[in-house]
C-alpha cells in the first residue's frame, strides 16, 4: 500500500483508511504526517479522547486505534495536535457516512452489508458509443418534495424517478453531486466528504437500493463529481493535520475562483485520495458514469488559457482516466470542459486525456445565442448553427442543456428564445428537433422537457402542474416522441462519431 500511495497510483486507500468494522468494534485509521499526536473523540467517549490516543503505526504518518463495542452510526472526529502546539478537530476524510448538516461529525457505517442484485445489467453495460445515450440531469432535493416540503430519501424516490424516466424515454439519469457537502446552495459542488454519500436523502444502503432499482429497470446512473476543489470549512480537509496536506502551500495555487481550496495534484497522496474516491464510488455504488466538473481548471491554471498549462493537473487527469478505465472498462468518464484543449477524449496512449465524452459547451452557447436573435437578422449568424459540425469530429462530444443554463438570471431554455409566447414554443420544438438529429449524445436538465418559464431554484420543487396548460403538455408530448424516435432510429446514434 505504501509505495502505491506515495507514487500517486493507489486507488484503494478506502480499504485501509477510515473507520472499518471488525467483529463488535471499529478500526480507525488516518494519515496525518504533520500531526504531533492524535486522539479519537466521539459520542462513545463523551468527546474526550484522553483515553483514546491513536498509535502512530508508520513513520510517514499513519495512525490507528481499535475501539470495541461501539455501534453503527456512532459519531466521531479526530482530535489533532499540530505543529503550532494547538488542538483542533477534523472529520474523517475517508468517512463512509456523515452527520446531516449543519452538524459535521463522521459516522461509523458498515459499507459491506448490502448485496446488489444487478449483475445482469453490469454484464451488458458499456460506454454507449454506438447506442442511444439520452440523459436526464436532476437535483435530487428539488425534483419533487413531500407535502411538508421535506426530501424523499433515496429509496422512496426510486420508483418515482424510474416511472418518469421510462415515460419520457431517457436512457440514463445524471445526479448532481452527492458526495457530502455542508451548504445546500452549493448544489453539491463544494464538497467536504469524498467518500460520504450525502445524508440529506438517507444512508448509503438506501442509495444502493436506488441504483439497484434503476438497473433493474434498465436505466443507467451517472454521478456528477467535483475533482478540482473542496470547502474551506474548519472541520474539513483544509490544513487537515495543521499544515497543507490536501492543498498547496503556495497561496496562488490553492485559492480557487469559488472561495474554496484547490487540490494539490503535485502531491502523490492527493492523487491517491481522489483515485480512491472515484474507484470507491464506482465499485461500491455500481455507478455507470462519472461526470467531472470544471476540468478546464486542471488543464489551465484557474481555467485560463492565457495562463500556462497546469502540468500537475494534466498529469493527474491522464493517470486517473487510465487507471479507472482499466479497472472499470464499461464505466463512462465524462468531462465538463469549457476550454478548446485538444485530445480530451483521445486515449492516453495517444497523448490524450482519456475521457470518453466531452460536453460540447460551444454547441450549447452558439445554438442558444442564435435562437435569441430576431429571425430578421439570423441570416448573418448562420455560422452559429453551422460551426459545430466544423469541429465535431475532433472529440467525442455530448450535447448538454444543463442546470447551468437555467439559473441565476440566465433564463430558462424557452425564455432565451426570441419571440412572443406562441413563437417561443414553435422554435423550442425546432431546437429539440435540431438537438436530437445532431450527432452527439444528449443531456437535458429537469424541467427542460416541460418548457418551464421559471428558473430553477434548489429550494423549490419542479412545477409539473404546468402540464395542465395545453401548450406545455403539447410540447412535453413532442419531446417524448423525439426521445422515443431517437431510441428506435439507429441512424440517429450509430457511428455518429465516425
Residue numbers annotated as active site: 293, 336
CA angle 419, 423, 424 (to 5 degrees): 75
Contact at 8 Å (CB) between 353 and 321? yes
Q: Count Cβ atoms within 10 A of the Cβ of residue 454 and give its class: 0-12 exposed, 13-18 middle, 19 or more buried.
A: middle
CB under 8 Å to 307, separation ≥6 — which residues?
A: 300, 301
d(C-alpha 419, C-alpha 413), whole Å: 13
Give the residue among 228, 138, 144, 239 at the shortest CA–CA distance from 190. Answer: 228
Q: Which of 195, 106, 145, 166 is nearest to 153 (CA)?
A: 145
Place of cell 490553492: 254
Specify whether the CB–CB gap between 254 and 261 falls below 8 A: yes
Which cell is 22 given? 471488525
Bond into 305 cis (ω within 30):
no
Interatomic CA distance for residues 293 and 218, integer angstroms = 26
Amino acid at each position: 500500500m505504501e509505495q502505491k500511495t506515495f507514487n500517486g497510483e493507489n486507488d484503494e486507500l478506502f480499504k485501509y483508511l477510515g473507520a472499518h468494522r471488525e467483529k463488535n468494534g471499529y478500526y480507525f485509521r488516518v494519515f496525518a504526517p504533520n500531526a504531533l499526536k492524535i486522539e479519537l473523540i466521539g459520542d462513545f467517549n463523551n468527546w474526550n479522547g484522553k483515553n483514546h490516543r491513536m498509535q502512530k503505526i508508520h513513520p510517514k504518518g499513519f495512525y490507528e486505534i481499535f475501539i470495541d463495542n461501539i455501534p453503527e452510526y456512532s459519531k466521531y472526529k479526530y482530535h489533532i495536535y499540530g505543529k503550532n502546539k494547538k488542538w483542533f478537530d477534523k472529520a474523517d476524510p475517508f468517512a463512509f457516512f456523515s452527520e446531516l448538516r449543519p452538524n459535521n461529525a463522521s459516522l461509523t457505517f458498515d459499507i459491506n452489508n448490502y448485496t446488489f442484485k444487478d449483475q445482469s445489467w453490469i454484464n451488458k453495460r458499456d460506454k454507449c458509443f454506438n447506442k442511444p445515450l439520452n440523459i436526464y440531469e436532476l437535483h435530487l432535493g428539488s425534483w419533487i418534495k413531500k407535502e411538508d416540503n421535506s426530501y424523499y430519501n433515496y429509496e422512496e424516490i426510486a420508483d418515482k424517478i424510474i416511472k418518469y424516466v421510462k415515460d419520457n424515454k431517457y436512457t440514463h439519469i445524471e445526479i448532481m453531486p452527492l458526495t457530502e457537502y455542508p451548504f445546500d446552495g452549493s448544489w453539491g459542488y463544494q464538497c467536504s466528504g469524498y467518500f460520504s454519500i450525502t445524508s440529506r436523502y438517507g444512508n448509503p444502503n438506501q442509495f444502493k437500493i436506488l441504483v439497484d432499482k434503476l438497473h433493474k429497470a434498465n436505466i443507467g446512473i451517472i454521478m456528477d463529481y467535483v475533482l478540482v476543489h473542496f470547502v474551506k470549512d474548519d472541520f474539513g480537509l483544509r490544513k487537515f493535520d495543521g499544515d497543507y496536506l490536501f492543498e498547496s502551500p503556495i497561496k496562488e495555487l490553492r485559492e480557487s475562483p469559488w472561495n474554496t481550496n484547490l487540490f494539490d495534484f503535485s502531491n502523490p497522496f492527493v492523487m491517491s485520495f481522489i483515485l480512491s474516491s472515484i474507484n470507491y464510488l464506482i465499485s461500491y455504488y455500481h455507478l455507470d458514469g462519472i461526470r467531472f466538473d470544471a476540468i478546464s481548471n486542471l488543464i489551465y491554471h484557474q481555467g485560463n488559457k492565457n495562463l500556462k498549462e497546469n502540468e500537475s493537473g494534466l498529469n493527474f487527469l491522464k493517470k486517473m482516466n487510465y487507471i479507472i478505465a482499466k479497472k472499470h472498462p464499461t464505466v463512462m468518464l465524462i468531462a465538463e470542459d469549457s476550454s478548446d484543449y485538444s485530445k480530451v477524449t483521445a486515449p492516453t496512449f495517444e497523448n490524450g486525456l482519456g475521457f470518453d465524452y466531452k460536453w460540447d459547451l460551444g454547441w450549447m452557447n452558439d445554438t442558444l445565442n442564435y435562437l435569441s436573435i430576431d429571425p430578421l437578422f439570423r441570416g448573418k449568424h448562420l455560422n452559429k448553427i453551422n460551426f459545430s459540425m466544423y469541429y465535431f469530429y475532433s472529440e467525442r462530444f455530448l450535447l448538454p442543456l444543463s442546470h447551468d443554463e437555467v439559473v441565476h438570471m440566465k433564463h430558462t431554455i424557452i425564455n432565451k428564445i426570441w419571440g412572443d409566447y406562441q413563437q417561443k414554443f414553435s422554435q423550442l420544438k425546432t431546437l429539440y428537433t435540431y438537438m436530437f438529429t445532431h450527432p452527439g449524445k444528449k443531456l437535458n436538465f429537469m424541467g427542460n422537457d416541460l418548457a418551464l418559464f421559471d428558473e430553477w431554484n434548489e429550494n423549490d420543487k419542479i412545477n409539473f402542474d404546468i402540464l395542465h396548460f395545453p401548450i406545455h403538455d403539447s410540447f412535453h408530448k413532442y419531446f417524448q416522441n423525439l426521445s422515443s424516435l431517437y431510441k428506435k432510429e439507429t441512424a440517429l446514434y450509430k457511428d455518429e462519431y465516425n
